[in-house]
Amino acid sequence: MKRIGVLTSGGDAPGMNAAIRAVTRTAIYNNMEVIGFRRGFEGLLDGDVVPLTVSSVGGIIHRGGTILRTARCDRFTKPEGVREGVARLKEYDIEGLVVIGGDGSFRGANELYRLGVQVVGIPGTIDNDMAGSDCTIGFDTACNTALSCIEKLRDTASSHERLFIVEVMGRHAGYIALEAAVAAGAEFVIVPERHFDIEQLCEKLHYARERGKSHSLIVVAEGVMSASELASQLRDTSGYDARIVVLGHIQRGGSPSSFDAVLASRLGAGAIDAFMRGESGVMVGREAGAIVTNPLTLAWERKKSLDADMMSLVDILGI
């Protein structure tokens, strides 16, 4: 393999730049050329390319976001769009493509693979909801960002003896909510994977007040409901007056944590190693500390499950 391409697709995640850097430098170390496609599959179809060199990826490992930028691409969801992508790769003599993104990006990568393109995926999403890797790039940083914000809110909650609801990202997965709730010592967490009962929540709040607790923190994943909706339910059900904070896209930004920078570097190098072993149609991941490969399809065919012990821990420690 003499020339490879790399792109970032879907939502950005801290550590994507570290992955781009690792892909580029590992490929060059192994005598390959590297071409970057800007704006994901959109840039692939438009021919928006940039040569990547050892120097051009210098100084980016600590930067959040992605230097290649990212975008959604409706054209690539159609068969003619995928065929056009194959033609573009042939036009630029690309022999292998590295796709950094979430399961939606992997679905697009898999369509290219089905048409004969050599493809390897790197899981980059703050949601950590992809099977095939214990952690995805950006998750640890997003959790630390949420934790930092929640810790500041606890100071205010304690000072004013108030109930706060913190809404974090996670439309279909509660990994950020759960991790941040445990790390911050939140009293309650509400996630898509677990049935939510407003009456049960009110009972817990009432019990906490009875034993003299003056403030509480609830972390809710956006996929269950908004913080404002939860505040309305609490007010209507039991008369609780809650302050709300929505962290939003702040969770996607910032420099990657040490864990994410290392993970992204290992996975980026692992993608090139996979190509050199002749593997394709696979994703690289980290399982039990080792870098492994799994079929791209695993990312959406197998549902990743929240740690039940962690869920119990919130209930136990939040009494």
In sequence order, the 6+-apart residues with CB closer than 8 A to the CB of 119 are 96, 97, 98, 99, 109, 110, 112, 113, 280, 281, 296
Answer yes or no: 127 catalytic: yes
In sequence order, the 6+-apart residues with CB closer than 8 A to the CB of 146 are 166, 168, 176, 180, 184, 247, 251
DSSP class of 190: E
Q: Which parts of 16-139 are beta strand (E)?
A: 33-37, 49-52, 96-101, 119-123
Q: Which of 12, 103, 127, 260 is catalytic?
A: 127
User: Rounded to the nearest 10 degrees, how much is the dihedral formed by the CA atoms of 107, 111, 113, 114?
Assistant: 130
Which structure tokens are listed for 282?
């696979």
Please give the Cα distance from 294 to 283 (Å, whole number). 5
Please give the Cα distance from 298 to 231 (Å, whole number). 37
**Rg of the chain in Å (alpha carbons):** 22
Which structure tokens are listed for 319?
């009494």
Q: Which amino acid is at 158?
A: S
DSSP class of 137: B
279-283 contacts, C-beta under 8 A, 24 or more apart: 279/120, 280/96, 280/113, 280/117, 280/118, 280/119, 280/120, 281/110, 281/113, 281/119, 282/120, 282/121, 283/106, 283/120, 283/121, 283/122, 283/123, 283/130, 283/132, 283/133
Which structure tokens are listed for 275?
């190509």
- 317 phi and psi angles, rounded to 5 deg: -80, -15
Which residues form the catalytic set? 127
